[in-house]
Structure 1
Amino acid sequence: METNIALNIENVKKNIEQACLRSGRNPKDVTLIAVSKTKPNEMLMDAYNAGMRTFGENYVQELVSKIDTLPDDIEWHMIGHLQTNKVKYIVGKVAMIHSVDSVKLAREISKEAVKRNVTADILIEVNVALEENKFGITLENGIETVTEIAKLPGLNIRGLMTSAPYVSNPEDNRKYFRDLKQLCVDINSKNIDNIHMDVLSMGMTNDYITAVEEGATMVRVGTAIFGARNYNK
């Protein structure tokens, strides 16, 4: 069955609007990122023609290839785990790197940003549920890590990101979204030099509605837009 991408995008946007209404928020404060990993350019163009301009990719090689071949007005976000040896390929090419999970990675991004005379917008990835298969700093060392990264040149820490556990009931993740929001509030209250964070990247296909209710400003939705991914490619 052919995936009706335009209709899917419309449905996701309606869900975001309704979640904002329930939580007293302005839908304009939430950015929908279409997660397009493993999807062919034809499907991305279907989303583009339906009005999407913000896309998220997980793999550097695939991201760079799509940047080179798709329209220039697309805003690209690196949302997957980023190895230090791949940083040089994306700094200056993406709007934001969501997955800064260590001071070591931040230093490498800083080095490349300075070399290219650009400022890299980044989010600090937090492993809120302490899952062994997930990357990210912990809630406990969040303030300390952000303070250290804030000293690096060429970086603009815009906020926090998390990938909550995959659950059948999104209510199970509400506490994690609240914890990330609280960490953001706590960090901003410290008045750390060069830090005023306003981005919370949290929520995916199975739990983005709950994430919006808890303050997400960016949701990363793939399956609900493009259909299930093909891992056999």
Structure 2
Amino acid sequence: MAASAMDGVAATALRSVLHRVQKAAERSGRSADRIRVVAVSKTKPASLVHQVYDAGHRFFGENYVQEIVEKSPQLPSDIEWHFIGNLQSNKVRPLLTGVPNLVMVETVDDEKIANHLNRAVENIGRKPLKVLVQVNTSGEESKFGIDPSGCVELVKHVSTACPNLEFCGLMTIGMPDYTSTPENFKTLVNCRTEVCKALGIAEEQCELSMGMSGDFELAVELGSTNVRIGSTIFGAREYPKKQ
């Protein structure tokens, strides 16, 4: 399919997603403007991201440091980038220096990575970085994230020992089997209750990043404030074919 035809498809798909989020928000008794849609462009070219940008969207996410560092300079500087993949310590500095308009890392899952981010932000001299603590709500060994039982302790560490990080909430991936997803989402909601109690903050001050292409409406109905949508907007991911 020609690029121009694909581009129109992505913009149309974005509008459809935003409409579905609005309806799900209404069902949850909230306004849609309380929910952020992060368009995840993994494996997709910057030109396609630009078309979604031209449709008025500003929140984009990537899973891999190399990809976001390559893409972001090709795109407008008012994009608000979210990093949503597993972050290794040795990639922290390249990520922060390569993407000056990175606004949030959604995947802080232990004290070590929090400390690395905190030091890098200070060394580079950039403004505090917003972070979410990633929780493994499904108990799958293949998933990153802290165990729910350690969630409060990690949040406290970020909030008290990392002055260059701004704790904003919790994130989970959940199981791809959508029949079990509600339990994963409910676990994150329960974690938020515990975190807010421990920090003495209102639940509205603690974001919930949960929900992707297959389950974002359910996530919004259960209280998500941030959904990460990839293939539903950009189409199936394109990986290099193995030789």
- TM exceeds 0.5? yes
Does the alignment pair 1:47 with 2:52?
A: yes
Q: CA deviation at 1:197?
A: 4.3
What SS does the aligned partner of 1:131 have?
coil
What SS does the aligned partner of 2:120 have?
helix
Residue equivalent to 2:63: 58
User: How big is each residue's C-alpha offset from its partner over 1:122-165, in whole Å with a ceiling of 9 and x where there is no partner?
Assistant: 00000000111111101111111211222222111110111111
Residue equivalent to 1:135: 144
User: How big is each residue's C-alpha offset from its partner over 1:138-195, in whole Å with a ceiling of 9 and x where there is no partner?
Assistant: 111111121122222211111011111112xx342112112111211211112369x9
Return closer, same or farther for 1:105/1:192 CA change in 2, 3 Å cut-off.
Answer: farther
Which shifted more, 75-84 or 1-10? 1-10
Q: Could you tell me the percent identity over the aligned residues?
A: 38
| Structure 1 portions without partners, runs of 5+ | none
Residue equivalent to 2:174: 164
TM-score after normalising by structure 2:
0.90
Instruction: Please point out which of 1, 5, 21 is paired with 2:26.
Output: 21
Q: 2: CA distance between counterparts of 1:71 and 1:148?
A: 34
Task: Give the helix-richer structure, 1 or 2.
Answer: 2
Does the alignment pair 1:183 with 2:188?
A: no
Q: 2: CA distance between counterparts of 1:41 and 1:114?
A: 30
Runs of 4+ in structure 1 off by over 4 angstroms are none
Maintained 8 Å contact 1:35/1:220: yes
Query: Amino acid of the residue matched to residue 107 of structure 2?
Result: S
Q: 2: CA distance between counterparts of 1:232 and 1:116?
A: 34
Q: CA deviation at 1:116?
A: 2.3
Q: 1: CA distance between counterparts of 2:153 and 2:113?
A: 16
Matches within 5 A, 1:139-150: 139-150=148-159
Does the alignment pair 1:73 with 2:78?
A: yes
User: How big is each residue's C-alpha offset from its partner over 1:24-66, in whole Å with a ceiling of 9 and x where there is no partner?
Assistant: 0110000000000110111111111111111000111110111
Query: Amino acid of the residue matched to residue 101 of structure 1?
Result: D
Residue equivalent to 2:91: 86
Query: Amino acid of the residue matched to residue 127 of structure 1?
Result: N
RMSD over aligned CA atoms reads: 1.8
Size of the aligned set, in residue pairs, is 230
Matches within 5 A, 1:206-221: 206-221=214-229
